[in-house]
Structure 1
């Protein structure tokens, strides 16, 4: 029997930036993130690629085609491919998706630049799959001032961004994270996706973030698990995950493997969101390999094969942990288990 070789296993590079700087820990350079990713190895298996945030200091979204080619060459030099990209849609260069006309224009322009880069990387041959990730660049508090009107504005902005992405042959995925207005709960996320109503618009699920959907953080009325939930009740947790994934799986076109200890966390300028924990954190509430199956298989237990790579996002890990080779080997081992249980083989 052949060992599964899909989905491909990717590591995110943006955890070297997100939550770093601005009074927090120093940024970890892009080259260092690539080096650590390429060095990880478990029983002869290595990471296949990286997902990349298109923001400084790692990469300038305004780069020329020569700069895009240099990025591709640098990643290829480490034996890695490129998958999904994160569009830098936030102020000051971008703007709120539910903001002023100028805010929304800047948002869409940042998506356009990101889709150009995505297309060029496909043409170069280093990127055969993946999406361009976006969010609302707005807080739940701001959204809550006018839920109906703000959801309508976000959807209008997303539709315009989707139409531009389609011109480049790209799909957009909205990040399911509790710190983004209009996508801070599973129900508001579905409302936003339905209102957007574009065939190239989907959902990015991150196991650390979506666990907080169950808890109703920032949207208590939408919680699935009861207050003061007993985490030892595995059957109830599985029932909650089953309900959550049944609602969001049809939209899911990008997936992050992760662990969470049931708490929120934020560092630097990043708002609190579902805490990313080490893969082997003893306080982790998820059985990573088993619970990934709720996203990777349908309600009948059949593989969806909805995306050709999965990614680990270790945002806001301390630098002391991120610079240890053992951290990345443990993460890679967890991802291999996910692929062994929920992957497939292609010749």
Structure 2
């Protein structure tokens, strides 16, 4: 029996930026994130690729074709591929003014253009472009119906732009994004968009907070008196959540959470990402990843070709230890062993 080779295993590079900066810790350079990802190895298995946030100071969203080619060459030189991209849409809220919404769509266009060219260069065989509403839950709550309509209209425009580049958009489920801050509002927003090239980006850390109803108590799934030792109740809640959101899921982050919210620097409080080995983690990472990677009958969905570890807002002291990334890779390998598959593949050299 062949060892599972899908889904491919990726590391995210934007944790070097998110929650960092003048009011927190220094940004970790892209090259450092890339090097530590490439150096990680567990029993001869390495990361297959990286997911990238097209964010300053790692990248200029207005990068030239030569810049894109240099990026492709650099990543390929480490025997890595590029998967999903994060569009820097936070300057233009999806439910903002006409000008702000136009800015949002323009940022999606720029990200899709980069993604398309990376595909042409042969270093991006799969992946989506990630977006969110760039809006706060409390602002959304001032007029839920109209604000959801605004977000959906902006997302539709973004989907139409993405279709020009043969890209799919994944809306990130996170408690700090208005209209996406609960599992029910997330589904309502996606249904309102009504485009075939949009889906859900699930992150195990963020979606755990959906169960608790943070920022949307009426959508809580776990009972108010829930205690973390009640694994049966947690399993039932995870089944409810994933059965509702799995059909939308086209991008997936493996992660851990200790049941709390956290924010550093300018980043709003959201689900706290924990290390893969954190004893306070509330998820059984490998087991619970199966709720997303398998359908309600236990069959593999194979809905995406790669999975990614997202470890935002870890201290720099932790992120610059190679052991951190080896432990993360080891966890991803276990997830693939439990919920992955094997398929023959032809190794194609990048067209650079």
Matched, 1:152 2:149: yes
Following superposition, the deviation at residue 332 of structure 1 comes to 0.4
CA distance in structure 2 between the partners assigned to 1:113 and 1:325 by the alignment: 33
Q: Which residue of structure 2 lines up, in the alignment, with residue 70 of structure 1?
A: 70
Matched, 1:50 2:47: no
Q: Which runs of 5+ in 1 are unaligned?
A: none
Following superposition, the deviation at residue 22 of structure 1 comes to 2.7
CA distance in structure 2 between the partners assigned to 1:22 and 1:283 by the alignment: 29
Matched, 1:314 2:311: yes
RMSD over aligned CA atoms reads: 0.5
CA distance in structure 2 between the partners assigned to 1:241 and 1:216 by the alignment: 13
Deviations 1:146-193 (A, max 9, x none): 000000000000000000100100000000000000000000000000
Following superposition, the deviation at residue 125 of structure 1 comes to 0.2
Deviations 1:181-222 (A, max 9, x none): 000000000000000010000000000000000000000000
Contact 1:83 1:130 in 2 (8 A): yes
Q: Which residue of structure 2 lines up, in the alignment, with residue 85 of structure 1?
A: 85
Q: Which residue of structure 2 lines up, in the alignment, with residue 270 of structure 1?
A: 267
CA distance in structure 2 between the partners assigned to 1:279 and 1:176 by the alignment: 20
> In structure 2, the residue corresponding to 1:116 is in which secondary structure?
helix
> In structure 1, the residue corresponding to 2:253 is in which secondary structure?
strand
Q: Which runs of 5+ in 2 are unaligned?
A: 345-352
Q: Which residue of structure 2 lines up, in the alignment, with residue 108 of structure 1?
A: 105
Following superposition, the deviation at residue 326 of structure 1 comes to 0.7
Q: Which residue of structure 1 lines up, in the alignment, with residue 347 of structure 2?
A: none
Which runs of structure 2 are paired with 1:305-344 in the superposition (5 Å)? 305-344=302-341
Matched, 1:250 2:247: yes
CA distance in structure 2 between the partners assigned to 1:96 and 1:109 by the alignment: 12
Q: Which residue of structure 2 lines up, in the alignment, with residue 206 of structure 1?
A: 203
Contact 1:9 1:47 in 2 (8 A): yes
TM-score (norm 2): 0.97
Q: Which residue of structure 2 lines up, in the alignment, with residue 21 of structure 1?
A: 21
TM-score (norm 1): 0.99
> In structure 2, the residue corresponding to 1:211 is in which secondary structure?
helix
Matched, 1:161 2:128: no
Between Structure 1 and Structure 2, how many residues are aligned? 344
Which runs of structure 2 are paired with 1:281-296 in the superposition (5 Å)? 281-296=278-293
CA distance in structure 2 between the partners assigned to 1:32 and 1:44 by the alignment: 21
Runs of 4+ deviating beyond 6 Å: none
Contact 1:85 1:118 in 2 (8 A): yes
Q: Which residue of structure 1 lines up, in the alignment, with residue 348 of structure 2?
A: none
Following superposition, the deviation at residue 78 of structure 1 comes to 1.1
Deviations 1:12-37 (A, max 9, x none): 00000000013100000000000000
> In structure 1, the residue corresponding to 2:232 is in which secondary structure?
helix
Matched, 1:226 2:242: no
Matched, 1:304 2:314: no
Following superposition, the deviation at residue 229 of structure 1 comes to 1.7
Q: Which residue of structure 2 lines up, in the alignment, with residue 171 of structure 1?
A: 168
Matched, 1:117 2:108: no
Q: Which residue of structure 2 lines up, in the alignment, with residue 33 of structure 1?
A: 33
